[in-house]
Amino acid sequence: MIETAPARRSLWQRQRWLTLRRSSQLAILGLFLIGPWFDIWWAKGNLAASLWFDTIPLTDPMIVVQSFVALGEVTATALVGAVLVAGFYVMVGGRVFCSWVCPVNIITDAAHWTRQRLRIPPGWRPHPALRMWLLAMCVATSAWTGTIVWELVNPVTLVQRGIVFGLGFGWIIIASIFLFDVVVSRRGWCGHLCPVGAFYGILGVASPVRIAAVAREACSDCGDCFEVCPEPQVITPALRGVDQSTRVIVARDCTNCGRCIDVCPDEVFRFAWRYGAEPTVATPERTNKPS
């Protein structure tokens, strides 16, 4: 029995993190919808700012930063909300927002699936620092104009607010991002441009919850993880590293989506704690791999 064990991974093993992630995205959207739909007001508001159980304020920290530089002041409520949100993502990984919460992720994942089906070449590859520049621009322009400038066009809040409060022509934004990711640039929006993602990336720069290539010696070089990863550049140092180099994926661009854990046939990856002892595989029973 033990000899044939690695051959087949169950459907659940192959789709676990994706399923959990989609459930999380839909559940968070659902919590905002049960108010207007069923009059159950656990959450009021939207991803920009919300009030939970009529008590706990949550505020998007990037919006608070823009508002602060625009007006030079910020209310205690907004600040408390932003600290709560920022604190959470500092711990679990900044871009967990992107892969576990943001509704745009569903759109861009669908675009990626479509582009792969149609075998469309990668297309435009923006400068790796472009999203950081865009983030800097958002802050600078907010300070200059006195408005929360990114909220004029932010697809993240626009889509979510649209679903909760009424979409209007917001479907144009959804369609535009989908088309952009399909025909213009592979993983273009979430992976290269979105300044909200860049902001959350900075928040999670030191976050302890990370994915690690704990069993990198078992890697059979199939490339599935690189294929599925929305930010493939983050995998290389952890997976291809040798000897003492860390197995933890430390790059801030990693969204902790866990898709690599799902797809890897060699079960190389796992969620891990970044600090302290180097995470290694608990029971390295694998014997069928060449190296």
Partner 1 sequence: MSNGNKLPRSSEHSAERRRFIAGTAQAAGSVSLVGLLLASYGEQARTHPVAALRPPGAIDEQDFLGACVRCGLCVRDCPFDTLRLARFGESMATGTPYFIARDVPCEMCTDIPCAAACPTDALSKSLTDIGDADMGVAVVTGTDTCYSITGVAHCTACYFACPIKNEAITMEMKQENGKVFFVPTVHREHCTGCGKCEKDCILPEAAIKVLPRDLVSHDSGAHID
**Interface with partner 1, residue 15, by CB under 8 A:** no
Q: Hey, what amino acid is at 144?
A: W
Of 173 and 190, nearer to partner 1 (C-beta) is 173
> Can you tell me which of 85, 96, 164, 196 binds partner 1, judged by CB under 8 A?
164
Alpha carbons 41 and 45: distance in angstroms, whole number: 10
- C-beta of 75: minimal distance to partner 1 in Å? 5
C-alpha closest to that of 33 among 50, 20, 21, 58: 50
Contact residues for 243 (Cβ-Cβ < 8 A; gap 6+): none
> Distance (Å, rounded) from C-alpha 138 to C-alpha 148?
8
Residue 268 tokens read as 């190389």
Which has the closest alpha carbon to 108: 210, 259, 209, 252? Answer: 259
Task: Rule CB under 8 A: choose which of 18, 21, 25, 59 binds partner 1.
Answer: 59
One-character DSSP codes across 29-67: HHHHHHHHHHS--SEEE-SSEEEETTTEEEE-HHHHHHH
Draw the binding track, 90-129, toward partner 1 (x: CB under 8 A; -: no contact).
------------------------------------xx-x
The tokens describing 21, both together, are 């992630």
List the one residue from 20, 31, 84, 130 that touches partner 1 (CB under 8 A).
130
Q: Which window, 116-124, 152-160, 199-207, 259-267, contacts partner 1 (CB under 8 A)?
A: 152-160
Give contact residues for partner 1 (rule: CB under 8 A). Answer: 35, 41, 44-46, 48-51, 57, 59-60, 63-64, 67, 70-71, 74-75, 77-78, 81, 126-127, 129-130, 133-134, 136-137, 140-142, 144-153, 157-158, 161-162, 164-170, 172-173
